[in-house]
Amino acid sequence: MKLPAILAIVGVLSGIPGCGAGVRSFGAWHDTSVQGARPHASDTFPVEAVLAPASLVTVELGVSGARLDEGGLTSPALLFQLPRLDRVHVLTLKSKLHVDAGVPGLVYPRVRLLDAQRVPTREFASNQFIYREDLQVTVFLDPTRRAERFVLITADAVPADRLLRVQSLSGPPHRELASFARGVLVLDFRPEPIEHVPFP
C-alpha cells in the first residue's frame, strides 16, 4: 500500500470518535466507514478500534450491519485490538438492559480473546456472565499473555430455556429477559493495581 493511501486511512480513523482517544458514543457507530454490510470471515473482519488503557467505550451491537461469517452462520460482531500491556489490565463488558415493544431484554454477548492470527485463546460465553442490573463479565489481561491481541464480541445464540430470569420488586415475581440482536454494550478497560488481581 502506498504512503498517501496509508496516511489517508490514518486521517480518517483519527477523525472517528473513539479511535485514538478510546472513547466513543454508539451514536457515531452509523458513520463508521470501515464497517460494511457484507459478512466477513474472522481473518478479514475489520478492527473497530485499539482499546486505550483507562478508557470507556460505548457501542451498539447490531446497528452498523457489520457481521461475522463463521461457517455460513453470521452474527453481529465487534473486533477490538489490544495494546501492548506492561501491567495487568481488566476489561469489563456490560450488556445494557433495555425494553423493546414492552419486552425487557438485552444482547447476550460472547467474548473471545484472539491471537495475532485471530485464533481464539480464551472464550467467555454468555452463561459465564453475571447479571447485576446489566449482564457483565470481567476479563483479566496481563503481559504474560502476550499472544492475545484482539477482543472479539459477538451475539451469543441463547435457547429459550437459557434466557435469564430475574426477580422484580415492582412487577411480576419473575421476568424473562429476551435475547435481542441489537443493544448497547459498554467496555471498561483499565489498569489494575497488582494487589487486586485474583491470582489462583
What is the per-residue pLDDT across 107-139, written as a single tens digit (0 to 9) for each? 999 999 999 998 999 999 999 999 988 999 999
| C-alpha cell of residue 179 | 435475547
Read off the pTM.
0.76
Are 190 and 90 contacting, i.e. CB atoms less than 8 angstroms apart? yes
> Residue 28: enclosing H or E segment and its boundaries?
none
Residue 21's pLDDT is what? 35
Distance CA 178, CA 100 (A): 9
For the chain, what percent of residues have pLDDT higher than 70? 74
